[in-house]
Amino acid sequence: MSSGKKMWSAALLATAVLAVTAACGSGSGGGGQSADGKIKLRFSYWGSDARQKMTEEAIKKFEAKNPTIDVEGEFSDWASYYETLATKVAANDAPDVITIEIRGLREYADRGTLADLASKVNTADIDSKVLGTGAIDGKQFAIPTGVNAFSLMVNPGLVESSKAKLPDDTKWTWDDYVKLSSQITEGSGGKVTGTQLSWNPAYLQIYAAQKGEPFYNGNKLGMSPQTIKDWWAVMQNLIKTKGAPDAAKSSEIGATSIDQSLLGTNTGAMGMWWSNQLGAASKASGQELDLLRMPKVEGATTGGMFLQPAMFYSASSKTEHAAEAAKFIDFMINDPEAGAIILSDRGLPASSKVLAAVKDKLPDADKKTLEFIDKVKSELADPPPAPPKGSSAMEDILTRYSEEVMFGRMTPDDAVQKFITEANASIAG
C-alpha cells in the first residue's frame, strides 16, 4: 500500500462522473461467457510483478478445481488502478470481482457498485471485528484479504553501526524518536540518515489517538488543530536535527516505492510503513529488518496502533455471474492451497484456518510480521470502520499541506486551517 498520491487525485476526477455517466454505459459489465461455453469472470487487482505472478498461479488453481469457470485477471500498477476502475464502472463495464481498499470502499458501496456478499462467502474463520470493516449500513460489501498494522521498521545493524541503541519500544516517546534519528545520522557521519518522513494518514491517526482524538468524527475531521500542528512539529524537529532529510529530499523520497526508500536502499535506518511491507523492504535492502511499536506522546495511555485489512475482495452489483464471483472470492479467502500461494502478500491471511495452514511456509520476514502482530495484538485498537466518502483524497491533501509547512511556505497556523477546511469539504458527503 504505497502512498498513491497521484492515483487518488485522478480517481476522484474519474469517479466524479459516475453518477452522470453510469446510465450511458452500453454494456452489462462482468465477464460473460467465453467461446468454449465456459463462464468468464473478470478480476481486477493491483500490485507488483511478483503479486501478478502469484495471483495468476492462484487463478490456475481455482480454474483446475472449477473447470467450467475461466478467470481473467485485470492487473495494473497501483498508481493507475482506481482511475482505470472508475472509468470501467462509469461505462457500466465493471469487473465481476473487484479488489478494493478501505479508503475507496464507501465511495463505491454508496454508488451501488458493489454487491452484498453476506452469506455468499464463508466468513466463519474471520475475526468479526476485522470482517466488520467491510460492512456498510449492515451490508457486507467487501471481504478482507488479510490484516496488517502501521508500524515503525528499523534496520538494527545500521542503528548499531552508528553507535546508537535500539529503544525499548514499550516506553519510547516522540522526543526519543527524534533524538535517536539524529544520533544515527551523526554517528554514521551522515552516511546513514536516521529516518524518513511519512505523510500516511494512518500515522496521524495513531498520533491523534494517543491524544485521545479520532481522525474522523462522522463526515468531518475529529482532530484538533493543535494535535495536527504538534504532529508537524515532530517532523520539523527531525529535519532541524538532521534525523531526517530536508524538505526537498523528503518530498522526493516520499513519492517513491518502499524499495527506493532510505530503508530499502540502506541509506536510512528507520521508516514507517504497513507491516505487510516488511518483506518487500527486507528484500530490497538485503538486510535483516525488524518492526517496532510506534513512539508515544508523553503521558499517553494508548499506543494508538490498530489492525486494518490490507485490502478487500468485492463483487460487482452488475455481474451476471454472482454465484461464481462469490465462489472465486471464497476460494481466495478460504482455500489453503490459495493461501499457500499468496501467503502474506495481501496481509496476514484473514482466515484463521488459512493462517494456521500456511504460517510455517511464510518467508522469514513475514514470520517476523506475524510474531510482531501477535506480540502487540492486545494493545491494538479495534479496526476502524470504512472512512467517509471522499477520504480517498486525504493522503494527497495531507501531504500537500505538510510539505507546505516543511518547506516553510506556510506557517503551521495557516496550513492547519486550510487543511481542515479542504479535508472537511472532501468528506462532507
What is d(CA 216, CA 407) in angstroms, rounded to the nearest whole number?
Answer: 27
Q: Are 211 and 74 in the same domain?
A: no
pLDDT at 415: 98
19 occurs within a structural domain: yes
Helices in 241-275 by DSSP H: which ranges? 247-254
Averaged over 109-127, what is the pLDDT?
96
175 occurs within a structural domain: yes
381 occurs within a structural domain: no
What is d(CA 306, CA 339) in angstroms, rounded to the nearest whole number?
Answer: 24
Residue 12 maps to which CATH number?
A: 3.40.190.10
Q: What is the pLDDT of residues 333-364, one digit of tens each?
A: 999 999 999 998 899 999 999 999 999 999 99
Q: Are 326 and 418 in the same domain?
A: no
Q: Give me the percent of the chain exceeding a pLDDT of 70.
A: 91
380 occurs within a structural domain: no
What is d(CA 276, CA 306) in angstroms, rounded to the nearest whole number?
Answer: 14
Helices in 91-148 by DSSP H: which ranges? 102-110, 128-131
| CA distance readout (Å), 52 to 75, 334, 364 | 7, 19, 21
Give the count of beta carbons closer than 10 Å to the beta carbon of residue 57: 12
Averaged over 139-166, what is the pLDDT?
97
378 occurs within a structural domain: no
Q: What is the pLDDT of residues 314-339, one digit of tens each?
A: 999 999 999 999 999 999 999 999 99
Q: What is the pLDDT of residues 12-61, one digit of tens each?
A: 434 433 433 333 333 445 666 665 689 999 999 998 888 999 999 999 99
Instruction: Output the nine-digit C-alpha cell for 256.
Output: 517513491
Is the pLDDT confidence value at 168 over 70? yes
Q: Look up the pTM and report it.
A: 0.88
pLDDT at 375: 96
Q: List 45's β-bridge partners, or say none.
A: 75
Q: What is the pLDDT of residues 199-221, one digit of tens each?
A: 999 999 999 999 999 999 999 99
pLDDT at 78: 83
Q: Are 78 and 183 in the same domain?
A: no
pLDDT at 48: 83
Contact 145, 311 (CB under 8 A): yes
Contact 272, 150 (CB under 8 A): yes
Q: Are 301 and 347 in the same domain?
A: no
129 Cα distance to chain centroid? 18
Task: Give 292's pLDDT tier (boundaries 50, 70, 90).
Answer: very high
Q: Are 79 and 193 in the same domain?
A: no
What is d(CA 47, CA 1) in angstroms, rounded to the nearest whole number?
Answer: 9
Q: Are 38 and 157 in the same domain?
A: no
Q: pLDDT averaged over the chain?
A: 91
217 occurs within a structural domain: yes
CB crowding 325-341: b at 16 or more within 10 Å, else e = bbbbbbbbbbbebbbeb
Please name the residues in contact with 271: beta carbons below 8 A apart, sequence gap of 6 or more: 152, 153, 195, 196, 198, 261, 262, 263, 281
Is the pLDDT confidence value at 4 over 60? no
Question: Structurally, how many domains does the chain consist of?
Answer: 2
Please name the residues in contact with 87: beta carbons below 8 A apart, sequence gap of 6 or more: 14
| CA distance readout (Å), 102 to 32, 47, 54, 329, 392 | 28, 16, 23, 17, 9
Torsion over CA: 260, 262, 266, 271 (sign): negative
Q: Are 281 and 333 in the same domain?
A: no
Domain holding 296, by residue range, is 149-306+388-426
| 60-69, 72-81, 87-96: the lowest-pLDDT one | 72-81
3-state helix, strand, coil in the chain (%, to 5): 50, 15, 35
What is d(CA 193, CA 26) in angstroms, rounded to the nearest whole number?
Answer: 54
Q: Are 178 and 236 in the same domain?
A: yes
24 occurs within a structural domain: yes
pLDDT at 34: 60
Instruction: Output the nine-digit C-alpha cell for 26.
Output: 452500453
pLDDT at 33: 65
Contact 270, 153 (CB under 8 A): yes
Is the pLDDT confidence value at 79 over 70? yes
Q: Are 326 and 297 in the same domain?
A: no
Q: What is the pLDDT of residues 245-260, one digit of tens each?
A: 999 999 999 988 888 9
Give the count of beta carbons closer than 10 Å to the beta carbon of residue 149: 27
Q: Quickly tell me which residue has 465481476 as its cell.
A: 96
Q: Are 103 and 54 in the same domain?
A: yes
Is the pLDDT confidence value at 5 over 70? no
| CA distance readout (Å), 19 to 12, 83, 91, 363, 385 | 13, 15, 11, 44, 24
139 occurs within a structural domain: yes
Report helix, strand or coil for 190.
coil
Give the count of beta carbons closer than 10 Å to the beta carbon of residue 429: 11
What is d(CA 62, CA 328) in angstroms, rounded to the nearest whole number?
Answer: 7
Q: Are 68 and 25 in the same domain?
A: yes
| 9-18, 138-147, 268-277: the lowest-pLDDT one | 9-18
Q: List 273's β-bridge partners, or say none.
A: 151
Q: Are 140 and 17 in the same domain?
A: yes
Q: Is residue 68 within a helix (H) or strand (E), and if so which, with residue range?
A: none
DSSP state at residue 321: -
- Better-predicted residue by pLDDT, 104 or 14: 104
User: Is residue 123 left, alpha or beta, with left meaning phi > 0 and alpha meaning psi from -120 to 50?
Assistant: alpha
